Amino acid sequence: MSAMKIKKGDMVKVIAGKDKNKEGKVLAVNNKDGKVLVEGINMLTKHTKPSAANQNGGIVHQEGYIDASNVMLLHDGKATRVGFKMDGDKKVRFAKSTGKVID
């Protein structure tokens, strides 16, 4: 897959799926599979058995990965597409809607 346009710590908006129009912070990025983990999005229910680490076991709610193509970066509160350009000798991301450099 080509370079990921979403990075850990970015604020994103979900544009497809059951959590459409929700916003959250990116917790992790899986470059190999092209997936992102977004805070409060795609909540999964995991049933855990009692163990030494977790005496009670029970039901745990946690985020699941979603495809990076289903999210858009939020820049100045608005969803925007992201592009890459060279700024001197450094490759930087920029918002295609405004042309401003993101990082």
Across 84-92, average pLDDT: 92
Specify the amino acid at residue 63: E
Residue 43, domain extent:
8-93
Total-model pTM: 0.84
pLDDT at 2 (0 to 100): 66
Inside any domain, residue 43: yes
* 8-53 confidence digits (pLDDT tens): 999 999 999 999 999 999 999 999 999 999 999 999 999 999 999 8
For residues 30 and 36, the answer to whether their CB atoms sit within 8 Å is: yes
Q: How far apart are CA 84 and CA 19, in angstroms?
A: 28
The number of distinct structural domains making up the chain is: 1
Q: Is residue 79 part of a domain?
A: yes
* Residue 3 located in a structural domain: no
pLDDT at 53: 86
Residue 38 inside a domain? The answer is yes
2 is a domain residue: no
47 lies in a domain? yes
C-alpha 54 chain-centroid distance: 28
Task: Give the CATH number, domain containing residue 17.
Answer: 2.30.30.30
